[in-house]
Amino acid sequence: MHKKDIGLATLVIAVGGIVAMVNPRFLSPINLANTANLIGLFGLFSIAQAFVIVTAGIELSVGSVIALIGVIFVDLIASFGVPWPIALVIVLALSLVIGLVHGWLITRLKLQPFVVTLCGLLIYRGVARFYTKDGTAGFSFGSDFPMLEFLVSGRTAGIPHSVMAFAIVGVAAWFLLHRTVFGRHLYAVGKNVEAARYSGINTDRVMIQAYVLCAFLTGISAVFFAMYTRSVQPSSHGNFYELYAIAAAVLGGFSLRGGEGSIIGVVLGVVLLQVLQNLVNLLGIPSSLNFAVMGSVILVGVIADTQFARYRDARRQMLAMAAIGDQPRAAAKQA
């Protein structure tokens, strides 16, 4: 673990301890199970966001994609009677297409990631609302999909399957980002895209793959959320989820400048945000302040990242100047 991860883990434990002292209900089995379930649900698309941020990009359409994919998935099963495995393949294929389009627009047409994904945020939300005629896509009363509900919303040994999915995706993402050539290419592109290109890396392909991977994981998250809520109101479903993902990534050490961060940090960031949200709920604070909490977390994370970068750069300059100053002394000794 990096020093940032250790510090964040300490913060998570400290905040959890404070919440438990303020309200002992935090440690009740029901509350812990519900919190764990939410950690799994929100963690999936937070890891997805991390793969884009590490390339110095950003994905602002996460929440809208979750709404659109959720609407289509529920409607395919409930209205058209499509078997859920086929519906799952269809919506995941659609999410791959969305990621491919975003990557193509950014790399081929040289559009800014902020602009492309902001437009996606508006387009996908609008399409979802038009598709349902601004209504709600949901299952009819008494409809039952035992296998699907067990796989997505069930529990094994008391552990929600969303947490298991989050753990599996987290381990796979950690390996992909920290132990493969593709992961090293992602960091290189985020650090300096021109230097990465001159070193022989196909930067366009790497960036497209990052957006495709992000969209695919977001599609998986959308299916989990659709079955968790069992109905999707496209005007509100997934609102501001992209901010949650950005906050978790920033907390986890992912710099918005790109080229930094760890998956363990994102996992801890998700846990910390859910513990803070649980604190808000247990204290009876209005839920509308959740957005204020997320905004404050992002601001503090960016400020800390900026100050750390300045300190690191200043330290490097001091070491470089010290090395230059030692050169004449070494030459004099040799003479």
Banded model confidence at residue 8, pLDDT cuts 50, 70, 90: confident
Percent of the chain, pLDDT > 90? Answer: 59
Residues 127 and 87: their CA atoms lie apart, in Å, by: 18
Mean pLDDT of the chain: 89
Continuous segment of H or E residues that includes residue 312: helix 289-334
Residues 81 and 156: their CA atoms lie apart, in Å, by: 28
Instruction: Provide mean pLDDT across the span 12-32.
Output: 87
Instruction: Provide mean pLDDT across the span 158-167.
Output: 94
Banded model confidence at residue 146, pLDDT cuts 50, 70, 90: confident
Q: Distance from CA of residue 198 to its chain's centroid?
A: 30
pLDDT given for residue 263 in this prediction: 94
Instruction: Provide mean pLDDT across the span 161-173.
Output: 96
pLDDT given for residue 335 in this prediction: 56
Concatenated DSSP letters for 67-103? HHHHHHHHHHHHTT---HHHHHHHHHHHHHHHHHHHH
Least confident of 111-125, 230-244, 315-329: 315-329
pLDDT given for residue 142 in this prediction: 65
pLDDT given for residue 291 in this prediction: 74
Architecture label for domain 25-288? Orthogonal Bundle (1.10)
* For residue 117, pLDDT beyond 60: yes
Instruction: Provide mean pLDDT across the span 13-30.
Output: 87
* For residue 302, pLDDT beyond 90: no
User: pLDDT tens, 182-230?
Assistant: 999 999 999 999 999 999 999 999 999 999 999 999 999 999 999 999 8
Residues 308 and 299: their CA atoms lie apart, in Å, by: 14
User: In the numeric block, which tokens belong to residue 235?
Assistant: 């005007």
pLDDT given for residue 179 in this prediction: 94
* For residue 54, pLDDT beyond 90: yes
Instruction: Provide mean pLDDT across the span 109-131.
Output: 96
Domain coordinates in residue numbering, the chain: 25-288
Instruction: Provide mean pLDDT across the span 252-278.
Output: 89
